[in-house]
A and B are shown apart, each in its own frame.
Chain A
Amino acid sequence: MSFLTDPVGVSHFLLVGAVMFVCGVVCMATKRNGLGVLMGIELVLNGANINFVAFGSKYLRSESLGLDGQLIALFVIVLAAAEAAVALAIALNFYNNHATIDVDRADELKG
């Protein structure tokens, strides 16, 4: 079991980020509930954040991004909060006007 004792590198963090990103993309594509789509977006942004933090960590590489990675991760967290607030307001508006949260029913603008 050498992989349990070897120190982890950036690649291991990138793999976790990739799994979360793909889960978010699949979640966005398959969920019919509008709030499920929002949860997929949160997963995607979080997967990206893991990559930024991993590349900014000086425990993993000597030539790291340093504080840049952590600062960009903080900006992404704030943007995710703002995006969730607006998207939730839109979803609630949609629910109030159409009495459904199914994204397949949001086809009024369809040509």
Chain B
Amino acid sequence: MFSNQLELTLWSGVLLIAGGFQFYRGAPDDGVIFGFGALFLIANRFYPERFTLKIPRLASAVILAIASVIAALSRIHTRPQLLAMFLFALILLFGKRTAITQVDKSQKTHQSLVRSRVVYALIAALCSVWEMVSYVLETHKQWGNKFPTISDLASPMLFHTEGRIFFVACFAAVGYVLMFKQSTPPESPDAHLD
């Protein structure tokens, strides 16, 4: 119970900090989204089944596909894109997800897992710091556009249909995995490590 509450607190904190940064960069709607996300996380923790819709998996996949087509074929930052994002939210946040299976504690604490998590977390942290520094520097005239952020690099591709199709395909695929990937543990905790 202690660890679950701590985890909930930390992840809610992550979303709230991210939301605060959105207000800082002048995007209050994004800040509200992160705030809503934190509230949703907390509400779902205490009322797990209250905030899901009983949409069958096939219907969820169809809605995901429709949203993907709309997002791929319509220009970004337009009303059809808002509709696509609404449909994605409907499924990703409120759709019925694949059931969670319990994982043996020994699997979570194996040293190989800890090492890998540290490496990935280090790469993510360094990338985040670089992104943050780039964002701050590009607001200063002397640096101009010498330090582009990820948005500066990715956005031009989204104005072309081919680039947009690629991004939407990746977005929908990852969303599908997050929703429907079964979290079944391996047959034995370290079967593949032998």
Q: Do they bind each other?
A: no
Please report A residues at the B interface, Cβ cutoff 8 Å. none
